[in-house]
Amino acid sequence: KNEVEQSPQNLTAQEGEFITINCSYSVGISALHWLQQHPGGGIVSLFMLSSGKKKHGRLIATINIQEKHSSLHITASHPRDSAVYICAVIGRRGSQGNLIFGKGTKLSVKP
Amino acid sequence: NAGVMQNPRHLVRRRGQEARLRCSPMKGHSHVYWYRQLPEEGLKFMVYLQKENIIDESGMPKERFSAEFPKEGPSILRIQQVVRGDSAAYFCASSQSLSGGITDTQYFGPGTRLTVL
């Protein structure tokens, strides 16, 4: 079993829909990252959080440390949101660079 | 402020040759991380470096792979005697110095796509 599990693996939505991507992990962590990988391959860090909730524009990330679960929400989705969204955690035992990655959720937003 | 730069963006090597991948961190960043993404697989941590020091190399293959981050110049990921299984995208990321033990956001480079023929 992977230490970081994401669901769903693939997600197709219509423009304007509210989207939720889930991430569950099985190790103790010091922080969790949400990353976006564009179709061209480039990676952008969206959020880093260790508790609570963060919001940036139409993106919201939440984390529940007790339940070892995080969600990434996209409000009013747009075709330009189409990308692979990756959850990654920093285990308490690893160094701060030792990210453990989920396999990603491929999002496709149709116009 | 330029972002994290990696070069080359694409690299083709024949089996047995050496591959050198370069990463220039963002200005003011002294922490560098290398990750590998194999075809159809997720990202995997390889190594974490600070200037002139390897902090964590637990993700590096034991043979043929090495990394350095000298006092001057870019970080280098070196793969000797490449094999077809080394074909992958190699991403570098950088972050600022830690303050008070707080983990810093990592900024990713565009990646180097290595193809071994």
Q: What is the pLDDT of residues A88-108, one digit of tens each?
A: 998 877 777 788 999 999 999
pLDDT at residue number A1: 66
Low-confidence ranges of chain B (pLDDT < 50): 100-101
Extract the tokens encoding A75.
């409000």
Residues of A in contact with B91 (CB under 8 A): 43
Q: Which DSSP string do the residues of B30-98 spell out, in sequence order?
A: -EEEEEEE-TTS-EEEEEEEETTEEEE-TTS-SSSEEEE--SSS-EEEEE-S--GGG-EEEEEEEEPPP
Residue pairs spanning A and B at CB distance below 8 A: 64
More confident residue, A84 or A97: A84
* Rg (alpha carbons) of chain A, rounded to whole number: 13
pLDDT at residue number B74: 96
Q: Which helix (H) or strand (E) holds A24?
A: strand A19-25
Task: Give the residues across from A31 on adjacent strands.
Answer: A90
Q: What is the pLDDT of residues A54-80, one digit of tens each?
A: 999 999 999 999 999 999 999 999 999
Strand B65-68 to B75-79 pairing: antiparallel
Q: Does B96 touch chain A (CB under 8 A)?
A: no
What proportion of chain A, given as a percentage, has pLDDT over 70? 98
Contact A44 B108 (CB under 8 A): yes
| Least CB–CB distance from A97: residue in B45, B89, B111 | B45
Three-state secondary structure call for residue A81: helix
Q: Are A104 and A4 in contact (CB under 8 A)?
A: no
Q: Are A22 and A11 in contact (CB under 8 A)?
A: no
